[in-house]
Chains A and B, each alone.
Chain A
């Protein structure tokens, strides 16, 4: 089964828009169509973002939502520590690096992201980036028309 790393933006887009490919990707994960992988950074970033823009309640519910995603694998900090210094030459923004390292640590097949900047960095040669729309198409699931396939 496909192991797909879900970037933080996928969760934030789901929270923000009524119908999105990101939400459909999360529905596909809940149906067991692929194995979702995130890292402890994903939790931290989503919480930080919602506390800044939304409410504590939403941040809390999102954590429950993420934590109970069926089949979820969370890449922990000790697994990232083991990859310290790797791939830094191919990722322009160091804050994106832990997610790329988590992708490799969990031996993922796809990296689903709404972050177009990241998909243009040199790391794209070794990471299978997909927009939520592209990933749904691979899964053979219906898509919705959205800017940038988010």
Chain B
């Protein structure tokens, strides 16, 4: 998927921090830093949502049932992709 350009206003102290991190070689450039920060936020939000839905369930799936369902999914996906 092609990436899109968006404009973001940042505080000077945040930009200074980003530039220092880039200078230290931790990131390629400002874009690399911001991209990484956005992905980290998405990851944390997704984890939070998944934990919330987990806590709403009364009890975990018994392990043998969970593994059996995984085997079924694995076989179905394999059939679909490789025939």
Contact surface of A with B, Cβ cutoff 8 Å: 8-9, 12-18, 30, 41, 44-46, 48-49, 52-55, 57-58, 61-62, 64-65, 68-70, 77, 94-96, 98, 114-115, 147-148, 150
Q: A15: which B residues are within 8 A, CB to CB?
A: 50, 53-54
> Is A49 touching B63 in the complex (CB atoms < 8 A)?
no
Q: Flag whether B43 is at the interface (Cβ < 8 A).
A: yes
With contact pairs A9-B67, A12-B66 given, residues A95 and B46 touching in the complex (Cβ less than 8 Å): no
Closest 7 pairs (CB-CB, A-B): A95-B78, A68-B43, A65-B46, A49-B73, A64-B46, A48-B73, A68-B39
Contact with A along B55-80 (1 / 0, CB 8 A): 10000110100110111111111101
Residue in chain B with minimal CB distance to A99: B74
Contact B67 A115 (CB under 8 A): yes
- Tell me the count of chain B residues lying within 8 A, CB to CB, of chain A: 31
Of the residues A44, A55, A148, contact of B81 by C-beta under 8 Å: A44
5 additional contacts, CB 8 Å, given A9-B70, A48-B73, A53-B61?
A12-B70, A41-B81, A52-B72, A64-B42, A64-B45
Interface of B is mostly: helix
Q: Assess the B40–A68 pair: CB atoms within 8 A.
A: yes
- Chain B residues close to A by CB (< 8 Å): 36, 39-40, 42-43, 45-47, 49-50, 53-55, 60-61, 63, 66-67, 69-78, 80-82
User: Shortest beta-carbon distance, A62 to chain B, in Å?
Assistant: 6
Report how far A88 CA is from B82 CA in the complex, Å.
Answer: 14
Q: Inside 8 A of B78's CB, which chain A residues have their CB? A: 41, 94-95, 98
> Which residues of the other chain, A, contact B63 by a CB distance below 8 angstroms?
147-148, 150
Given A41-B81, A44-B77, A148-B63, A58 contacting B50 (CB threshold 8 A): yes
Task: Kindly state the separation between the CA atoms of A77 and B80 in the bound complex, as whole angstroms.
Answer: 13
C-alpha spacing A61/B49, complex, angstroms? 7
Q: How far, in angstroms, from A148 to B64 measured CA to CA in the complex?
A: 11
Q: Within the assembled complex, what's the spacing in Å between the Cα atoms of A70 and B43?
A: 8
Cβ–Cβ contact A65 & B74, under 8 A: no
B54, A18: Cβ atoms closer than 8 Å: yes
